[in-house]
Structure 1
Amino acid sequence: MELTTVWFLLIALLWTGYFVLEGFDFGVGVLLPVLGGDDDDRRSILATIGPVWDGNEVWLIVAGGATFAAFPEWYATLFSGFYLPLFLILVALILRGVAIEYRGKSDSPRSWDRAMFLGSLLPAFLWGVAFANIVRGVPLDADHEYTGSLLTLLNPYALLGGLATLTLFTLHGAVFLTLRTGGDLRARSAALAGRLAVGALLVGGAFLLATQLTVGKAATWVTVAVAAAAIAGALLATLRGRDGWAFTASAVAIIAVTVTLFGSLWPNVMPALDPANSLNVRDAASTPYTLTVMTWVAVIFTPLVLFYQGWTYWVFRRRVTGARVGA
Structure 2
Amino acid sequence: MELTTLWFLLIATLWCGYFLLEGFDFGAAMLMPVLARDDRERRVVLNTFGPVWDGNEVWLLVAGGATFAAFPEWYATLFSGFYLPLLLILVALIVRGVAFEYRGKIDDDAWRRRWDLCIVVGSALPAVLWGVAFGNIVRGVPLSAEHEYTGSFFTLLNPYALLGGVVTLTLFLLHGAVFLTLRTTGDVRDRAQRATQNIAPVAIAAAVAFLTWTAIDQRDAWAIAISVLAALTLVAALGLTAASRDGWAFVATGATIVLATVSLFVALYPNVLPATEAANSLTVTNASSTGYTLTVMTWVALILTPVVVAYQAWTYWVFRARVGTEHIPPLAMPKAVESVLQDIR
TM-score past 0.5 threshold? yes
Provide the residue aligned with 1:260 in structure 2: 263
Residue 215 (structure 1) shift: 2.0
Residues 82-124 of structure 1, C-alpha deviations (whole Å, 9 max, x = no match): 0000000000000111111111113310101100000000000
2:173 to 153, 157, 170: 170
Which whole-Å CA distance do the structure 2 matches of 1:231 and 1:90 have between them? 29
Number of residue pairs matched by the alignment: 327
Provide the residue aligned with 2:87 in structure 1: 87
Change (3 A) 1:305 1:192: same
Change (3 A) 1:325 1:270: farther
Give unpaired runs (5+ residues) of structure 1.
none
2:227 partner letter: V
Provide the residue aligned with 1:78 in structure 2: 78
1:274 to 269, 274, 277: 277
Q: Quick check: which has more Rg, 1 or 2? A: 2
For the pair 1:319 / 2:341, whether they are aligned, the reply is: no
2:101 partner letter: E
Which whole-Å CA distance do the structure 1 matches of 2:31 and 2:144 have between them? 42
Which TM-score applies when normalising by structure 2? 0.93
Change (3 A) 1:179 1:216: farther
Residues 237-287 of structure 1, C-alpha deviations (whole Å, 9 max, x = no match): 100000000000000000010001101100000100010110100100000
1:203 to 198, 202, 206: 206
For the pair 1:122 / 2:125, whether they are aligned, the reply is: yes
Residue aligned with 1:104, SS: coil
1:133 partner letter: N
Give unpaired runs (5+ residues) of structure 2.
333-345
Provide the residue aligned with 1:236 in structure 2: 239
Which TM-score applies when normalising by structure 1? 0.98
Does the Cα contact within 8 Å between 1:22 and 1:56 map onto a contact in 2? yes
1:249 partner letter: A
Change (3 A) 1:260 1:325: farther
Residue 199 (structure 1) shift: 1.0
2:146 partner letter: D
User: What is the alpha-carbon root mean square deviation over aligned residues?
Assistant: 1.0
For the pair 1:156 / 2:159, whether they are aligned, the reply is: yes
2:229 partner letter: V
Which whole-Å CA distance do the structure 2 matches of 1:214 and 1:34 have between them? 37
Which whole-Å CA distance do the structure 1 matches of 2:3 and 2:219 have between them? 24
Does the Cα contact within 8 Å between 1:92 and 1:118 map onto a contact in 2? yes
Identity %: 64
> Pairwise mapping of residues 36-47 of structure 1 onto structure 2 (< 5 A)?
36-47=36-47
Provide the residue aligned with 2:339 in structure 1: none
Residue aligned with 2:244, SS: coil
Provide the residue aligned with 1:12 in structure 2: 12
